[in-house]
Amino acid sequence: MGAYESEPQRAEIPDEGGSLARHSLTSAVVGLALFSLPALAQEGTTRAKFEVYPANAKVYGQRVNENGWDYLSEADQPVLLSRKAHFNRDMAVFKFEAPGREPSEEKTLAWTKVSGDNTVDTGITLKAQSPMLAFQDWRHFTPWSDIALGLGLLGLCGLAGLAFWLLKENRKRKAEEAYFDLLAKQGVSVNQQIGRYFCKNKIGEGGGGTIYRALPVNNPNTDAAVALKMLDAKTAQDRDFKERFQREIEATSKLFHPNIINVHDADEVSDGSDLDGTLYFVMDLLNGVSLETYLRNHKGPLDPELVGNLIAQAADGLHHAHIQGLVHRDVKGDNLFFVDNDRVVVIDFGLARKPKQTIQVTRDSKIPGSTLYMPPEAELIETEEDEIRYYKQSYDQFSLAILAFEMLTRGRPFVTQDGLKNLFVMDSIHYTAIKSVRDLQPHLSPDFDPIFQRALARNPEERYPTIVAFAEALLEVCEAQTKKVESENLA
């Protein structure tokens, strides 16, 4: 046979017997299936979903031959149902439960309703047992609930705002009534004219006088507000207080320095009223608090650099007074005003004295000034010669050094002085040692100690030559302390 010669084709012979056999088998299978269909239906299963609120409610089916329930699934998931296990005469009993809600009543459903992957609307809503779930249900079933909720919250905010305003106004009214009563007792009424000023409200007191916020009669603009200090009606009859008040007016009116309170005017009431003859003077209205108040509201010691700056400013003001021949004699936290968080102003020169001053003030066995800040020489002043000897800048330097020690350590500088009553404070100053700053604040530099040892020396001649010299020495160590802490924090 050649390479290009094909093999003879074989003839196809139909297989009639095989085809007949296949048709017969197919018919038999179909017939068997049709015959078995009712039986399969009788024993079948189906899947169904149940429309229940909430959608995650658990579905339970009652068993046919037992007194019990089978957990099937959650309502929003396809539930596999067995006709044999759960349906009796094509009827099944279901119930639904969800946390925080009352269980549903039993629900009977026919096989025809649940078979064929149906979604069955049961019409069941499980009743909420808590206000929160009830609120959620209300939002779910109420289309405009969010709008209503928003309006309700807006209304509540409005009512809360109104209640707050009413409460604030009520407190304001009570405060005004109390204030009016106080002024009435003191013989001063709101907007009462005192000399060339209208008194508006009381802002403080001290040195036998009361301080009011006031406005000039010829310029009632609030920007022109000043502080008016007037001798109280009771103390106006006391010769000592009156002389002290006159001395404060005289001393302060001659001092012009950014760290000393500036006095603008001084006079006495002469309008024929009950206050006729009462002394008053007008000074800057300061925006701030006393250093004593600031320390009381501040927990722990102050930053050393801040202490150095505040003491330096106070020393500058006091040094200006010393140059004018005045010694303050009552340097303490109450008489240093902390203005705008960066400036110190010295106030209340009611005890300021010049050596050999002609005004004689009765002491009644009481040393003028604040005992806790008094230098030991205060007890030695009895004659004019004593005044010349001891009324010097070193007097105020001692007081300012105690205040600086307190600001750095929040403690008293003399051993056994903490908690002592005034009767024994001077004894502790005279007879006990000066503490190291490290006894109270171990992190502070030992370089502070020689500064305080010198400024608090019992002999005034051993202190710094000027109050500014003390402040400069203190500031240098304070700044070094701050730089040391900053470098340690960066390391």
Task: Name the one residue in this structure whose structure tokens are 């330096």.
Answer: 312
CB 202 within 8 A of CB 189: no
Give yes or no for a contact between 167 and 179, defined as CB atoms under 8 angstroms apart: no
Within 10 Å of residue 407's Cβ, how many Cβ atoms? 22
Contact 214, 194 (CB under 8 A): yes
Cα angle for residues 259, 249, 366 (degrees, 5° grid): 95
Q: Name the active-site residue from 232, 316, 330, 348.
A: 330
- Look up 330 and say whether it is catalytic: yes
Cα–Cα nearest to 59, from 73, 42, 44 = 73
Distance CA 353, CA 375 (A): 15
The two three-digit tokens of residue 387, written as one number:
């005044």
Q: Which residues are catalytic?
A: 330
